Chains A and B, each alone.
Chain A
Amino acid sequence: MAAFIVRRIGEGLATILVVALIAFALFRYVGDPVMSIAGPDATQSDRDELREQLGLNDAVPVQFIRFVAHAAQGDFGFSYRSARPVSGLLAERLPATIELVAVGATLSLLLGTGLGIVVALKRKSALARSILTVSLFGVCLPTFVNGIVLIYLFSVTLHWLPSFGRGEVVPVGGWTTGLATWSGLRSLIMPGITLALFQLAMLIRLVSSEMTDVMQTDFIRFCRARGLRRGSILFRHGLRNAMMPVVTVVGLNIGSVIAFSAITETVFQWPGMSLLFIDSVRFGDIPVMAAYLVLVATVFVLINLTVDILYFFIDPRLRLAPATAAAQGPANG
Chain B
Amino acid sequence: MKTLSRILTRLGRGTIFLARTLAAIPQLFVRFGLVTKQLHSVGVHTLIIIIVAGLFVGMVLALQLHYTLTTFGAEDTLGLLVDLALVRELGPVVAALLFAGRAGSALTAEIGLMKATEQLSGLEMMAVDPIERIIAPRFFAGFLALPLLAAIFSAVGILGGYMVGVDLLGVDAGAFWSQIQDKVDFYDDVLNGIIKSIVFGFIVSWIAVFEGYDCVPTSEGVARATTRTVVNSSLAVLGMDFVLTAIMFN
Chain B associates with chain A = no
Chain A residues with CB under 8 Å of chain B are: none
